[in-house]
Structure 1
Amino acid sequence: MPETAENQAKEQPRRRQARGERRIAQLLEAAASVFCTTGYTAASTNAIAREAGVSPGTLYQFFPNKEAIAIELGDRLMHEMRDAYGEALAPVDPATPLEEAVRAAVDRFIAFNCDHPVFFTLMHGPDIPGRIAEEHDALHVTLLTRIEGLLSSLLPDVSPADLSRTARMSLGIYKAGLELILAHEGAEREAYVQELKNALVRYLEPLTGGRSGHGGAPLGNTP
């Protein structure tokens, strides 16, 4: 059945919107590649347009400058990160072995960061836009709260002050390990992932009364 003039008029804005969303996604993907390669500070809108295969004029139809691109990319990544830690840091059954809880959380976070290496670049770069820094600070606070919630399932007898300190230390260990993990690939990356899990379990195990489930031996690579 042929489209009426009214239906065509309604469909055109939707098509334009869909094309615009695809173009924005294309530009953000290109920006992620450029930021990872050169860092945020050295990146330029010309380099991002070139990576996306469009003219700078096309880029400026959607973003006024590099900062606006980084903010949009950062907002989307932080939304995904919140979903990731919402799943990874849910409270667990207190009977869950420490090794299992650590493995599940670390694997989820590492998968996110390996799928989106630009997240680390933007969040830890020396000259990121102020709004991203503010959003990241808020994300950090919420993340610590969720880590405390997970740890409270495993460490029910620890005081709130000690729990907060343990959560901060655990996150610090994770961040240090993450930088090494992202700097390597293949088997060496997997080895560093395992070392990170080992470090976290060995740090947390004394607080749980030694119920990690591996008897103090190095963690294996079993799922």
Structure 2
Amino acid sequence: MSANREQVSQDDRDRQEKEQPRRRQARGERRIAQLLEAAATVFTTTGYTAASTNAIAREAGVSPGTLYQFFPNKEAIAIELGDRLMHELREMYGEALAPVDPMTPLEEAVGAAVDRFIAFNCEHPVFFSLMHGPDIPGRMAEAHDALHATLLSRIEGLLSSFLPDAAPADLNRTAHMCLGLYKAGLELVLAHEGAERDAYVEELKNALIRYLDPLAGDRPGHPGAPGTAP
């Protein structure tokens, strides 16, 4: 019996020793998430340049010393936050900008894509603040440039469903225009709330649709295409 109890006791100790690092890791991950959430609030409110680690620690309800256990400076915080948001955005636009059936109404395709991107940016307003601020950290700028290039490629893929005969240079130019229009509209969307924000979202969709509609006018299924039933 004594040997059995000793074995059970040893097993308990072994299990506890294995669980302790996992618990510490889980606590650390929760603390990092807490700090990143606080940083998002501070960066959105004050901008990256004016933000400080003290302000982030204060927003998180922890001491600066606790913050420095996980991040050496605000640049490291911004980079980690930006990396996580860009990863989430990549997953989202893979679906939002997937090629569609050419018979899909242009309004439906544009509306669905805009809704997904607006939802992401409204949920994470810090993304716009970080990526379009004047003093974005160099590593983030490089990652954003790569994201921008991939995003343009995805937009070209979506547009090719509606502009199958467009030359590559024309398709690339149209994708640049669409992204530029979206960014300009997004700034207005984020500057408003409630019904006024919704109104700007609709204006943004209308601007994109009215820009693209003449270009897609001859595609099959378009109301103005030759041979299409009225």
What do residues 50-92 of structure 1 show as CA deviations (whole Å, max 9, x unaligned)? 0000000000000000000000000000000101111100000
- RMSD between aligned residues: 1.5
Deviation for aligned residue 1:214:
7.9
| Consecutive unaligned residues in structure 1, runs of 5 or more | 216-223
> For 1:57-136, what aligned pairs fall within 5 Å after superposition?
57-136=65-144
Does residue 138 in structure 1 map to residue 146 in structure 2? Answer: yes
**Aligned equivalents of 2:26, 2:89: Cα separation in 1:** 25
Q: Quick one: percent identity of the two aligned structures?
A: 82
Q: Give the one of 36, 44, 55 matched to 1:47.
A: 55
Number of the residue aligned with 1:147: 155
Deviation for aligned residue 1:213:
6.6
**Aligned equivalents of 1:70, 1:36: Cα separation in 2:** 11
**Aligned equivalents of 1:144, 1:100: Cα separation in 2:** 20
**Aligned equivalents of 2:204, 2:198: Cα separation in 1:** 10
Deviation for aligned residue 1:157:
1.3
Which stretches of structure 1, 4 residues or longer, exceed 4 Å deviation after superposition?
210-215
Number of the residue aligned with 1:219: none
**Aligned equivalents of 1:170, 1:71: Cα separation in 2:** 27
**Aligned equivalents of 2:41, 2:107: Cα separation in 1:** 35
**Aligned equivalents of 1:122, 1:112: Cα separation in 2:** 14
Q: Point out the structure with max Rg over C-alpha.
A: 2
Paired residues in the alignment total 215
Residues 155 and 175 of structure 2 are in contact (CA less than 8 Å); yes or no, is this contact kept in structure 1?
Answer: yes
Deviation for aligned residue 1:210:
6.4
Residues 99 and 214 of structure 1 are in contact (CA less than 8 Å); yes or no, is this contact kept in structure 2?
Answer: no
Cα gap change, 1:213/1:155 in structure 2, threshold over 3 Å: closer, same or farther? closer
| Consecutive unaligned residues in structure 2, runs of 5 or more | 1-7, 225-230
TM-score by length of structure 2 reads 0.91
